[in-house]
Amino acid sequence: MTSANTLQARTPDEAYEFAAPFRAPQGSPIRELFKYVGRPGMISFAGGYPSKDLFDRDGLGRAIDAAYRSDPIACLQYGDTAGAPALRRSLARLMGARGVECDSDDIVVTTGSQQGFDLLVRTLIAPGDTALVEEPAYPAAIQALRLAGANIVTVRTDSDGIDVDALAATLDAWSEPGRPKLLYTVPTFANPTGATLPRARREALVRLAVRHRIVLVEDDPYGELRFAGTPVPPILALADACPGGRDWVVYFGSLSKIVAPGLRIGWALAPAPIARRMIVAKQTSDLCTSPLSQEAARHYLDSGSLESHLRTIAGAYRSRCGALLKALTHFAPADIEFCAPQGGMFVWARLTGGRDAGDVLKRAIERNVMFVPGTAFFVRDADASSLRLSFAAPSEAEAFEGARRLASALSGN
């Protein structure tokens, strides 16, 4: 007997006629690695998660409590699509401390900065439109553009981030139909490379954006996680010095890496015509970001705890990064190269002997250490010899031991 369930199981995927980017959807290759993370004794350099042992649990607990006790209705009712006015004021002050003058009305609160970029892509990119992306790049940004049907053109980077001269040459020689509409970059402690774009390159990028009328997307989740070197202002802070500059920079901030991702609080600072449309897109996306989360975030920001908390995280990340690099330097064979980042969560490494990082990963997992092969961060022709090491999650001792195991996997001992 054939049951209804059996019949149902036969309805093929094609029957639904999905929109083109969803016909053969690919999940995140990084998430595929998650099954190994929980293995006893595993030391993971794979995750892009902030360290859970550094969360300000008590401070956030007090913030959640104060938010709910002081105004339960604000936490429970629908809120403004653009965000709660009080949180927008707190975020405008935070932007002021980052060197960006803005009015709280300019801030759009988003459900993580992931939503911010997605909303921007929706307003700008029609299928076939061109978007520029630094390469290697944050995979979820690439994915947002793919799902929007964008023609993704990659921009070369070196250890200082985007190669602005190469970009300028590309843009000046642009002959394809359809000019690029946006350029996506994480200019400070980039994911995955850890690179930071120097000030002169930032200024050149703004001039290029104005000249070619390209929306320059500055994704800045890590900028306040500096533990070495000299601060560089956000691109947006430098944009005012270039006539028209402010009109072509969209900035995304996030509390995920500096407070807690579970709040899902990000924000966008965009030129008014763009911000207005992002708010329309947000009405459709989720009406508003969780007011409970927004109220909790606002109370936390207004408590004044963030500054000392940032010192705590940055200090811990400095130690962890240092231990990782020290062990790699000491134990790894000569055919691996890497740069020491000045902040953030990532070290980018390359196997100069041409070995495949995916093969090394298999040997690494046998030794109870993990990382993400660099292929995950490329749009097309992936550099199979690259790898990303996140030092956020392991303790300092684990980072050292993990790097020692990685060195062993690399050496074949």
Minimum CB distance to its own copies smaller for 55 or for 174: 55
Selected binder of its own copies within 32, 39, 65, 337 (CB under 8 A): 65
DSSP 226: B
Task: State in angstroms the smallest separation of the CB of 163 from its own copies.
Answer: 26
Comparing CB distances to its own copies, the nearer of 117 and 338 is 117
Of 74, 153, 365, 379, the one binding its own copies by CB under 8 A: 74
Binding residues among 326-365 for its own copies as defined by CB under 8 A: none
Q: Which residues inside 121-150 make contact with its own copies, applying CB under 8 A? A: 122-127, 129, 140, 143-144, 147
Using CB under 8 A as the binding rule, the residues of this chain from 218 to 277 that contact its own copies are 240, 243-247, 256, 260-264, 271, 273-274, 276-277
- Give yes or no for residue 1 binding its own copies (CB under 8 A): no
**In this structure, are residues 403 and 324 in contact, taking their beta carbons and an 8 Å threshold?**
yes
Q: Choose, by CB under 8 A, the member of 293, 375, 386, 390 that binds its own copies.
A: 293
Q: Are strands 130-135 and 151-158 parallel, antiparallel or unpaired?
A: parallel
36, 68, 174, 331: residue in contact with its own copies (rule CB under 8 A) = 68
- Considering only 36, 37, 49, 331, the residue that binds its own copies (CB under 8 A) is 49
Q: Which of residues 96-115 bind its own copies (CB under 8 A)?
A: 111-112, 114-115
Q: Of 17, 176, 307, 381, which lies in the binding site for its own copies, with binding defined by CB under 8 A?
A: 17
CB atoms within 10 A of CB 51: 19
> Which is it for the CA torsion 336, 340, 341, 343, positive or negative?
positive
Residues 394/43, Cβ–Cβ less than 8 Å: yes
Binding part of the chain for its own copies, among 156-164, 282-290, 315-323, 361-369 by CB under 8 A, reads: 282-290
Residue found under tokens 């509409």: 181
Q: Three-class SS of residue 173? A: coil
Subset of residues 371 to 390 that bind its own copies, contact rule: CB under 8 A? none
Distance between CA atoms of residues 149 and 145, nearest Å: 6
* Nearest CA among 374, 326, 393 for reference residue 190: 374
Question: Which strand ranges, in their side-by-side order, compose the sheet holding 151-158?
Answer: 107-110, 266-269, 249-254, 215-219, 182-185, 130-135, 151-158, 161-162
Query: What residues numbered 296-315 form the site for its own copies, per CB under 8 A?
Result: 296
Q: Provide, rounded to whole angstroms, the least separation between the CB of residue 91 and its own copies.
A: 17
Count of residues making up the chain: 413
Answer for the pair 140, 28: CB distance below 8 angstroms, yes or no.
yes
> Is 11 or 413 the residue whose CB approaches its own copies more closely?
11
Which residues, including other chains, have CB under 8 Å from residue 208's CB and lie 6 or more apart?
A: 164, 167, 168, 171, 214
Report in angstroms how near the CB of residue 114 gets to its own copies at its nearest: 5
Near its own copies by CB under 8 A: residue from 33, 43, 46, 64: 64
Q: What letters, b where the CB count within 10 A reaches 16 and e where it falls short, cover 323-335?
A: bbbebbeebbeee
Which tokens belong to 399?
A: 């980072």
**Nearer CB in complex with its own copies: 100/407:** 100
In sequence order, what are the beta bridge partners of 343? 226
Q: Shortest distance, CB of residue 40 to its own copies, whole angstroms?
A: 19
Rounded-to-integer distance, Cα 314 and Cα 302, Å: 21
Asked if residue 411 binds its own copies (CB under 8 A), the reply is no
Q: Which is nearer to its own copies, 75 or 407 (CB)?
A: 75
Q: Is 15 in the site for its own copies (CB under 8 A)?
A: yes
Q: Which of 118, 135, 220, 401 binds its own copies (CB under 8 A)?
A: 118
**Spatial contact of 368 and 45, defined as CB atoms under 8 Å apart:** no
